[in-house]
């Protein structure tokens, strides 16, 4: 009986050794205690944005596509919105009332001069998300605003603008998630 146990143990050790030397080693994914951070939901009320409502909805969707740490959603009936969006005859502007809240005006003056309504909306929502104007600037910078010229229709934030919003709302976890998706390994 003792010989059978001894030979069985030797055979098992040989099999383990062969499997380790004969094949490719695969490491298990490291255990993580950090749960994914949920996006901070901000609601917006575009009921006062008149003919610009679809541009406002598209501007919000662009931010939702661009960042993970914050999500812009239309306000539910009967609830108070974090962001009010209004149309007026002046120049477009945002009046932040703290990070993630305030009032956006989609001014017809810029629209009448030929500026793109979706770019205006996305730009002004960028202010509510904590971004300053970066003037003068190129068309590739959403926050360059009107200095990019009437021909600029780019409504998307650039990499630096996205990272700044991620930092404003999500900190390191959201930035790490974005880097992982982009194929960058972050320690």
Point out the catalytic residue in the list 124, 161, 164, 166: 124
DSSP designation for 110: H
Q: Which two tokens stand for residue 37?
A: 């951070």
Q: HEC states along the chain? A: CHHHHHHHHHHHHHHHHHHHHHCCCCCCCCCCCCCCCCCEEEEEEEEECHHHHHHHHHHHHHHHHHCCCEEEEECCCCCCCCEEEEEECCCCEEEECCCCCEEEEEEHHHHHHCCCHHHHHHHHHHHHCCCCCCCCCCCCCHHHHHHHCCCCCCCCCCHHHHHHHHHHHCHHHHHHHHHHHCCCCCC
124 in active site: yes
Backbone angles phi, psi at 160, to 5 degrees: -65, -40
Active-site positions read 124
């Amino acid at each position: 009986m003792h010989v059978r146990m001894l030979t069985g143990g030797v055979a098992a050790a040989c099999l383990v050794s062969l499997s380790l030397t004969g094949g490719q080693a695969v490491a298990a994914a490291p255990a993580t205690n950090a749960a994914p951070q949920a996006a901070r939901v901000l609601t917006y009320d575009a009921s006062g944005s008149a003919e610009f409502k679809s541009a406002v909805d598209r501007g919000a969707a662009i931010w939702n596509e661009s960042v993970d740490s914050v999500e812009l959603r239309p306000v539910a009936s009967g609830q108070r919105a974090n962001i009010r969006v209004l149309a007026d005859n002046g120049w477009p502007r945002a009046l932040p009332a703290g990070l993630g809240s305030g009032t956006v005006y989609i001014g017809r003056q810029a629209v009448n001069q030929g500026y793109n309504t979706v770019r205006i909306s996305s730009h002004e929502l960028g202010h509510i998300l904590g971004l300053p104007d970066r003037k003068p600037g190129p068309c590739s910078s959403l926050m360059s605003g009107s200095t990019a010229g009437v021909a600029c229709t780019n409504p998307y934030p650039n990499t630096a603008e996205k990272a700044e919003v991620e930092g404003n709302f999500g900190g390191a976890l959201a930035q790490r998630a974005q880097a992982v998706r982009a194929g960058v390994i972050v320690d």
